[in-house]
Amino acid sequence: MTSLNNLAVYSDYFVAALLIGGALFMLVGSWGLAKLPDFYTRLHAPTKASTLGMGATLLGSLVWFSVQEESLHIHELVISIFLFLTAPVSAYMMGKAAIHRRRPMAEGTRNAEEAERAAERKGINDRDD
Amino acid sequence: MLSNVIMICTGMIGLAMLFCLWRLIKGPDITDRILALDTLYINSIALIILLGLYYGTALYFEGALLIAMLGFVSTSAVAKYLLRGDIIE
């Protein structure tokens, strides 16, 4: 019984550390979104940091519910796996849309002329507008 | 202790959402606004998870899952619309 009580106390510290870390990552990601100079660097900040922050927050929630109800609660994993799968896809689509809209790049972007070629290249079914 | 930690985390995520709102209002182009909305919905999922932890109930989990799915679908739909001028061709 005492070991179970100890587990609850230790898991509280563990969950608190996970929650603080996750919130810090989300804050840094959104700060990068507000601060960075052009769209492509701004795309980099939230899509990585927010998923890491979400992963830590959801892991904290999973641990807390598992310890509290003394059974394994893995349904938070559904959200984190879904986010890990969809965040790169939506980031790719937004980056492709930005390349096709020819958003300006920050000074010193390497291989900037490749973006122009990628924007020129059209698919088979693309209309020419 | 944990309720204080949850309050601090809520404040930090609220600040993060304010940053996103600033980018959503200021954003020079529509792609920046899509990105700000995408980050906003991810932050709101974390806020709902924290609310569920605060009240100690797993009921809010379904809401978080719904926001995750609808957010991804809307982001990809708007990006696709920008890319091709059409969503379902």
CB B13 within 8 A of CB A46: no
Residue B68 CA to residue B48 CA, distance in Å, equals 11
- Chain B residue closest to A58 (CA)? B49
Partners of residue B23 in chain A, C-beta under 8 Å:
33-34, 42
Residue A14 sits at the chain B interface (C-beta within 8 Å): no
Residue B61 CA to residue B76 CA, distance in Å, equals 23
Residue A4 CA to residue A29 CA, distance in Å, equals 37
The domain locations on chain A are 2-120
CB contact under 8 A, A61 and B72: no
Residue B70 CA to residue A86 CA, distance in Å, equals 11
ipTM of the complex: 0.88
The domain locations on chain B are 2-84
Return all residues near B8 (Cβ < 8 A) that are at least 6 apart.
A20, A23
- Write out chain A's pLDDT in tens, 129 residues: 456 667 777 888 889 999 999 999 999 999 999 988 888 888 888 887 778 899 999 999 999 888 888 888 888 888 889 988 998 899 999 988 888 888 878 777 777 777 777 777 655 445 554
Residue A123 CA to residue B43 CA, distance in Å, equals 35
Residue B87, token pair as written in the block: 């969503």
Q: Model confidence over B36-71: pLDDT tens digits?
A: 999 999 999 999 999 998 998 888 888 999 999 999
Q: Could you tell me how many helices (H) and strands (E) chain A has, helices first?
A: 4, 0
CB contact under 8 A, B58 and A65: yes
Residue A17, token pair as written in the block: 């550390």
- Chain B residue closest to A46 (CA)? B39
Is this structure's pTM higher than 0.90? no
- Chain B residue closest to A30 (CA)? B16
**Residue A110: phi, psi to the nearest 5?**
-80, 150
Q: State how far residue B39 is from chain A, nearest Cα, in angstroms.
A: 6
Residue A79 CA to residue A85 CA, distance in Å, equals 10
Partners of residue A43 in chain B, C-beta under 8 Å:
35
Chain A and chain B share a number of CB contacts under 8 A equal to: 149
Residue A91, token pair as written in the block: 């980031």
Partners of residue A22 in chain B, C-beta under 8 Å:
9, 46
Residue A81 CA to residue A35 CA, distance in Å, equals 28
Return all residues near B32 (Cβ < 8 A) that are at least 6 apart.
A39, A42, B23
Partners of residue B39 in chain A, C-beta under 8 Å:
29-30, 33, 46, 50
**Domain B2-84 bears CATH identifier 1.10.287:** yes
In terms of Cα–Cα distance, which of B73, B74, B47 is closest to B60?
B47
Residue A95 CA to residue A89 CA, distance in Å, equals 10
